[in-house]
């Protein structure tokens, strides 16, 4: 079995504030160690299910350089750095059987959700594919399904667990904290979070046939809403890009992987200072 583990940071136990996840702040170093511990717990869970598994761990937060390589199970392969194909889902091209999402968070606009955003909190306020609003979990679930990989487990706060029920019924959810607001949560101890993840992974992998993930087959009508009108201007230089309204860009993509790449491009171009 080949398993891809995509690891974000906002959904890690104990993380509640931007300083916890932003390089250069003292709290970041503490919390990147907790991030690595939860990722490592997921790796251990995979090997408990299948000792002969191949495990890829995709560092999927910010610039994808957060996990501490020396603290990760040596049996896993770490995918680190950016830019890279498939972004948060680097490794899909190797044909994994299943995908785990560790440390994930709610989509932009989710009420009472810890550090909720979609792709780029400083640029994007909503992403719609064929009219359906999707966050990072929904986009990545659909991308996994497009490549034939079963999205079997997500960990994070209670709001991302609710989102998982909408985009992938049957997916296992490990709730490591309950959101009290955008920057507040009731969190389990980090060691308890790791134990919960390690226990849940074998069950999730064993039940992967029961997951019914969102699928976006065929062309995708993409609409990306940004926070301010000037954030659309560089993206409008891309052939085929259109402006739906002052803050919304539209694009007709041939398929989901193409739409996924355009979302990443809009996030990058929208952050450029005019």
Q: How far is CA 74 from CA 2, 44, 69, 255, in A?
A: 16, 11, 9, 36
Confidence class for position 164, pLDDT limits 50, 70, 90: very high
Residue 113: phi and psi, rounded to 5, are -135, 130
74-130 tens-digit pLDDT: 999 999 999 999 999 999 999 999 999 999 999 999 999 999 999 999 999 999 999
* Interval 184-190 mean pLDDT: 98
Joined tokens for residue 12: 């890690």
Residue positions annotated with a catalytic role? 117
Place of tokens 């209670």: 158
Q: How far is CA 69 from CA 62, 65, 83, 192, in A?
A: 16, 10, 19, 22
Kindly tell me if the per-residue pLDDT of 265 is higher than 90.
yes
State the DSSP string of 194-238: HHHHHHHHHHHHHTGGG-------S-EEEEEEESSGGGGTTGGGS
User: How does DSSP classify residue 106?
Assistant: P
- 136 has binding-site annotation: yes
The answer to whether domain 2-115+136-210 has CATH 3.40.50.10780 is: yes
The per-residue pLDDT of the chain, averaged, comes to 97
- 8 has binding-site annotation: yes
Please state, in angstroms and rounded to a whole number, the distance separating the CA atoms of residues 4 and 86.
12
Confidence class for position 273, pLDDT limits 50, 70, 90: confident
Residues 6+ apart with CB under 8 A from 186: 177, 178, 180
Please state, in angstroms and rounded to a whole number, the distance separating the CA atoms of residues 227 and 220.
22
- 189 has binding-site annotation: no
- Nearest partner of 3 among 97, 141, 142, judged by Cα: 97
Confidence class for position 144, pLDDT limits 50, 70, 90: very high
Peptide bond into 83 cis (omega under 30): yes
- Nearest partner of 30 among 42, 12, 5, 8, judged by Cα: 12
pLDDT at 159: 98
* CB-based contact 42:5 (threshold 8 Å): yes
* CB-based contact 194:43 (threshold 8 Å): no
HSE-up of 13 (CA within 13 Å, CB side)? 21
40-89 tens-digit pLDDT: 999 999 999 999 999 999 999 999 999 999 999 999 999 999 999 999 99
Task: Output the CA angle 256-258-264, nearest 5 degrees.
Answer: 105
């Amino acid at each position: 079995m080949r398993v891809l583990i995509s690891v974000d940071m906002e959904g890690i136990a104990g993380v509640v504030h931007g300083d916890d996840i932003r390089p250069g702040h003292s709290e970041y170093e503490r919390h990147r160690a907790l991030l690595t511990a939860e990722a490592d717990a997921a790796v251990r869970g995979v090997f408990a299910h299948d000792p002969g598994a191949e495990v890829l761990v995709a560092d999927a937060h910010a610039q994808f350089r957060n996990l501490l390589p020396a603290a990760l199970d040596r049996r896993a392969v770490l995918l680190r750095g950016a830019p890279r194909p498939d972004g948060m889902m680097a490794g899909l091209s190797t044909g994994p059987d299943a995908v785990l999402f560790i440390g994930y968070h709610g989509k932009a606009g989710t009420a009472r959700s810890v550090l909720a955003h979609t792709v780029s909190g400083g640029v994007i306020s909503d992403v719609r594919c064929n009219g359906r609003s999707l966050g990072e979990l929904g986009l990545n679930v659909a991308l996994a399904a497009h490549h034939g990989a079963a999205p079997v487990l997500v960990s994070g706060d209670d709001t991302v667990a609710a989102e998982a029920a909408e985009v992938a019924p049957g997916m296992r959810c490990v709730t490591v904290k309950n959101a009290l607001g955008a920057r507040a949560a009731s969190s389990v101890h980090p060691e308890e979070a790791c134990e919960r993840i390690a226990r849940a992974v074998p069950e999730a992998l064993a039940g992967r046939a029961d997951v019914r993930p969102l699928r976006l087959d065929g062309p995708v009508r993409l609409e990306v809403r940004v926070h301010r009108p000037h954030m659309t201007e560089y993206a409008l230089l891309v052939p085929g890009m259109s402006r739906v309204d002052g803050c919304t860009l539209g694009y007709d993509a041939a398929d989901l992987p193409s739409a996924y790449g355009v979302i990443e491009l809009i996030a990058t171009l929208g952050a450029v200072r005019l």
